[in-house]
Each structure stands twice: as structure tokens, then as C-alpha cells.
Structure 1
Amino acid sequence: MAPVAPLLLLSLLCGLFVDRGEGACAEVDSDTEAVAGRGFKLGCISCKKRSEVQASATVEWFFSPTGESDFKPIYTYNENGPSIEHDQFMDRIDWNGSKRSNDIQDASIYLFNVTFNDSGTYQCFLYRTLIYTNDEYHDDINKVVHLTVVAKGTMYDAVMKRSASVGLLVSLIHYLYRLIIALSREINNCFLVITKQWFTTEY
């Protein structure tokens, strides 16, 4: 445990010289099977390739029931906040994505009290604007989730719990790996900034 203290001290020093970036992002596919009567997270994650580039984004979700081809808007999230667009999902959708930031990388939503009528295809559109010094770049991302709803008390329910635990563990390991990489880059930048300021300071 001894090396932890110097690392924390270094992180605090970095905070004095270097702007802190966004947390590490890991793209994980959404689960595709839900249990009737329970809640379900519809995942939609799109990580920026360059975390240091500022960005803003808006989100739209669409739904096409099983056996149909037309998609209907069900949910939007933008600078004005969230909005449920369809009566079937009224009071049953909650934002489960990036918080307190217009730089949205996680556009997931949470569906309460899932019914069999919720089976079908969901499309998540994330409209991102990358903001550079003298220019802007627009990028449209589309994620698709094919959702199947099953009854309570099936063998599948128990299997899903174990699969979710394994998936969560894999996601956590991936997240920690990206976090370590991001932290090592931050520490390296911190050393460079501190060294530069050390040698350029006039006494």
C-alpha cells in the first residue's frame, strides 16, 4: 500500500497544473433480452477517439415493434433536457447516460416495467459535434438493439443474472484498463508541465 500515497500526491499536483479530462469510456453492447414486469437498460455508448477534443451531442431513440418495419420516435435528449415522444413509453423511460455534460458518450436509457409489447428493434442516434479551434466536425452514430421480452421465472432469468455478472466484470476490467492508460498519460503530461515550469521559473 506504500506506493499509493505518492501516486495520490502526484495526482493532486497534476490538478494544479493540468486540466482534468473526461473519464475513461468503454463501448459495451446492450443486452438484448428483458424480463416482463422488470426494468431494463437499453445501452448506447459511443466513445470519442480523442478525449481531449471538446464536443456536444444530442440523442434520439426510435422503436419498431416486432413484425413491423416502421420506426417511431420514442425519446430525445438535448440541451433542453429529456422528452418522451410516444404514449406507449410515457412515464416509463429514464435517462441512464452521461450526466451533467453536453459531451455525451453514453446515451443509454432505462425502461421501467417492461411489457411484451416492448419487444422489437430500437435505434439510438447520437448526433455529435466535435469542436476544434477553427472548425467543427459533425458525426452521426447509430446503434441498434434487438430486444426480446421473456416471461418471469424462466430458466433464462437465472442464466441472465450470471451472464450479466460476467459481462459486468468484463466491462469493469476493460474500464479499469482504459482508466490506467488515461491516468498514465495524465501523469506523463503532469511531469512535462511541472518540469517545464520548474526550469522556466525565475528566482
Structure 2
Amino acid sequence: MKLTCIYCMKREEISAETKVDWFYNGSASDYRKKLIYQYDGEPHYPDDSEAYWKGRLTWNGSKDLQDISISIVNVAANDTGTYECEVSRFFKFDSFEHSTTRKIKIELKVKMKATQDITALYSEIMMYVLLVFLTFWLLVEMIYCYRKISKSEELAQDTA
């Protein structure tokens, strides 16, 4: 399960340092969020990370750090909750430094039984309709070209 976090406030020509903290809060009644994953030059688990998360979270971000997503391996019902991606950027310009922070919350609800997405069903139906239409169109084009070639050959034989 990919937890998507995108923060595009960075350009290649501007020197910037990026720090990312991923937090988890399992219940609405408990307002304490737990730090579960970090990126500070490279992705890693925090020192006081719970054993529950170790080995289950993987960095899924891009090299340019615009996409700073993580993935949960072997998603379980206990993973339901609120995840928060906190991104801090430190920009260095010639005359000054600037920092910015953004927090993105993601609600994850793990269901025991998967439900079929209606959008996927519609796209599958459209794919088959398009496939039949294109096959029919190709057949008509082939017949048209065959007749045109046959007529031109008949005409060439008649004139000869």
C-alpha cells in the first residue's frame, strides 16, 4: 500500500535540504502521533521506532524528492489510522536562507474484504468496446484496400 506524499516546492538549480518525518496515529481518541519513518539525507527508521513498523515500511519517493511517499508491506487491519507526512525544506540562496514546512494527512481504512472499484469495471468495459471497434475498423479498411487493389489490377489488365 503506497502512502502518497508529494511536495513540489524544489527546483534543481536551487540548493535545498529536505527532511521528511512520517507519523502514525491509530485512533481518533488518541491524539499522540508516533514517528514511524524518516528521511534525512537517506531513508531510515527512527531510533525509538516500534518493532511493529520495522521491515514493513519502504521508501517509495523519487530521487529529486518531489515525491516523498512510503509503502507499507503486508498491510494489516491494525494499519488503519491517520498517517501524516511532514516535509521540511531548507533553501540556500546567495543572500539569504529560507525554510518551509508542509504537513499532509492521509486517512487509511483497511478492509478485511476488498470491494471492486466501479471505475475499474467501466474502464474494462470501455477497453473491450474499443478493442471490438478497432478490430471491425481494421477489417473494413482491409476489405476496402483489397477491392481498390483488385480494381486497379483489373484496369491494368484491360488496358494491356
Q: TM-score band, normalised by the shorter chain?
A: 0.5 to 0.7
Q: What TM-score comes out, normalization by structure 1 length?
A: 0.53
Identity %: 34
CA–CA distance in 2 between the matches of 1:142 and 1:109?
15
Runs of 4+ aligned structure 1 residues displaced above 6 Å come to: none
RMSD over aligned Cα, in angstroms? 2.3
- Please say if 1:159 is aligned against 2:120: no
Q: Give the letter for the 2:32 counterpart.
A: D
* Structure-2-length-normalised TM-score: 0.66
Greater shift, 79-88 or 105-114, is seen at 79-88
**Alignment check: 8 A CA contact 1:56 1:104 kept:** no
> Residue by residue, what CA displacement relative to the aligned partner does 1:32-56 show, whole Å, maximum 9, x if unpaired?
xxxxxxxx00011011165642212
Q: Give the number of the structure whose alpha-carbon radius of gyration is greater.
A: 2
- Check whether the contact 2:77–2:111 (CA below 8 A) recurs between aligned residues: yes
Check the 8 A contact 1:75/1:86 in 2, yes or no.
Answer: no
SS at match of 2:95: coil
Provide the aligned length of Structure 1 versus Structure 2.
119
User: Residues 49 and 58 (structure 1 numbering): CA distance in 2 closer, same or farther, change over 3 Å?
Assistant: closer
Give the match's secondary structure for 2:52.
Answer: helix
Query: Which runs of no fewer than 5 residues in structure 2 stay unpaired?
Result: 124-160
Can you give the 5+ residue segments of structure 1 that lack an aligned partner in the other structure?
1-39, 166-203
Matched, 1:95 2:59: yes
1:138–1:110 Cα change, 3 Å: same
SS of corresponding position for 1:63: strand
Higher relative contact order (CA 8 A, sep 6+): 1
Question: Does residue 72 of structure 1 match 2:34?
Answer: yes
Three-state SS of the structure 2 residue aligned to 1:150 is: coil
